[in-house]
Amino acid sequence: MVFMSSPGAFDPSDQAALELDPAAEELWATELAQRAGEGDLAATQALLRHLTPGLTRVVIGVLGSQHADRDDVLQQSLIAVQRALPAFRGECHPAGYASRIALRVALRARRNHKLDFTRREAIARLSPADGPHAESPSAFADAERRRRALRDLLEDLPDEQADALGLRVMLGWSLEEVARATGAPLNTVRSRVRLAKEALRKRIEQDPSLADLKGVP
């Protein structure tokens, strides 16, 4: 590839260019990831800067915006991404590749440290479907219980299913976006999400109080 070195190459600091030409951004990021995987320090630094906002959203999606370990887990995610770059082959967007790694790092951190979410964190992570109106303490507790159940399920699923359901439900990605991020065929992603939902259904059957989780996308 010669894209980065060509005259007028995409400048990631130009937000308008990034939004207007996502194909150019992907080409730029892919070449950057490949160079980083070969040990190019400048490329590694530029790529991690470019990926940090997206990885931050992933970590917050799992841990909550106010969790004390959020920044540490983000740093662990960046380190894990850097270490995984030599294995990147360009089959998907580098942002999707990195998001999957960050999702696993954050889920592992939650499991290992037995994260205890506060009411404030639960409020911060309420989905738009929960509405902007004031809720009773019991409603907040119910919303947090649903979140906990979903995260517990992700921890128990095979990695591929956890990736698909986590990106689909927790981050709100479409099936097409998940397929692009994971480098898997769309039908494979559908199958992984279906299997994950079946596991969720079995958990609901064991605990009827989780019946409202049936509405996950």
Are residues 142 and 210 both part of a single domain?
Answer: yes
128 near 73, Cβ under 8 Å? no
Are residues 24 and 111 both part of a single domain?
Answer: yes
Which CATH number belongs to the domain containing residue 24 in this structure? Answer: 1.10.1740.10
Higher pLDDT, 123 or 35: 35
Are residues 162 and 200 both part of a single domain?
Answer: yes
The Cα 207–Cα 203 span in angstroms is 6
Are residues 163 and 108 both part of a single domain?
Answer: no
The Cα 51–Cα 214 span in angstroms is 33
In a domain, 5, yes or no: no
Residue 59 has pLDDT above 80, yes or no: yes
Are residues 25 and 113 both part of a single domain?
Answer: yes
pLDDT of residue 213: 59
Q: What is the rounded average pLDDT for all residues in the chain? A: 76
Residue 67 has pLDDT above 70, yes or no: yes
Condensed to tens digits (0 to 9), the pLDDT of residues 166-193 reads 888 777 788 888 887 777 899 999 999 9
* Mean pLDDT of the region 135-151: 66
In a domain, 50, yes or no: yes
pLDDT of residue 118: 34
Domain count, the chain: 2
Are residues 98 and 137 both part of a single domain?
Answer: no
pLDDT of residue 63: 80
Are residues 101 and 165 both part of a single domain?
Answer: no
Are residues 105 and 157 both part of a single domain?
Answer: no
Condensed to tens digits (0 to 9), the pLDDT of residues 89-138 reads 888 889 989 998 999 898 888 776 543 443 334 334 434 444 444 456 66
Are residues 139 and 110 both part of a single domain?
Answer: no
Which CATH number belongs to the domain containing residue 139 in this structure? Answer: 1.10.10.10
In a domain, 175, yes or no: yes
- Domain of residue 101 covers 16-117
Are residues 106 and 177 both part of a single domain?
Answer: no
Q: Which of 90, 117, 144 is the last residue of a domain?
A: 117
